[in-house]
Amino acid sequence: MTIFQYILLGFLVVCAISVSFSKNLLNSILIYMSYSLVMSLIWVCLESPDLAITEAAVGAGVTSILFFATLKKIHGIQIEKTEKEGEDHE
């Protein structure tokens, strides 16, 4: 069990660092989402299932959906557009 926890903690650190180093905002949100999921697993390991349920529902679910909605509003998701334009030019 402790080895499993160490793997999860390592994953947490990797996620936290790669959120700030990712250049694509969409990728950052996805990594943040996985950070929350790993965090909820750690809460289960620490024997606090109440927090685990809340973290999974709020952190991984609703917050990232709100981030997606905001990104769409500020036109932050532009992958499809640039790909299409690239195809047109070629």
Partner 1 sequence: MSKPKPQKEYEKTGAFHFFRWLSGCKDPYVGEVEMKPQKEEVVPESTILERMNERQMIRDKVYDAENNKGLVIFHRIYVASAILFCIALVGLLLYTVSYLPRTGNPSNPDNNEVAERYIESGLQETGAMNIVSGMILTYRAFDTFGETNVLFIATCCVMILLMVDDSILKKQEEKNDRRFEPKNDAILQGTAFVLCPIIFIFGIYVILNGHLSPGGGFSGGAILGAGLILYVCAFGFKKTQQFFNEHIYKVAKITALCMYGLIGTYFYITGANGIENHIPLGIPGHILSSGIILPINICVGLEVACTMYAFYALFRRGGL
Q: Cα–Cα distance between 34 and 18 in angstroms, integer?
A: 11
Q: Which is nearer to partner 1, 24 or 54 (CB)?
A: 54
Residues in region 29-88 near partner 1 by CB under 8 A: 48-50, 52-54, 57-58, 61-62, 65-66, 69-70, 73
Q: Which is nearer to partner 1, 1 or 90 (CB)?
A: 1
Side-chain-facing half-sphere of 6: CA atoms under 13 Å: 3
Least separation in angstroms between residue 84's CB and partner 1 is 16
Rounded (5°) CA angle 5-19-16 = 30
Q: Which is nearer to partner 1, 9 or 65 (CB)?
A: 65
Q: Which residues bind partner 1 (CB under 8 A)?
A: 48-50, 52-54, 57-58, 61-62, 65-66, 69-70, 73
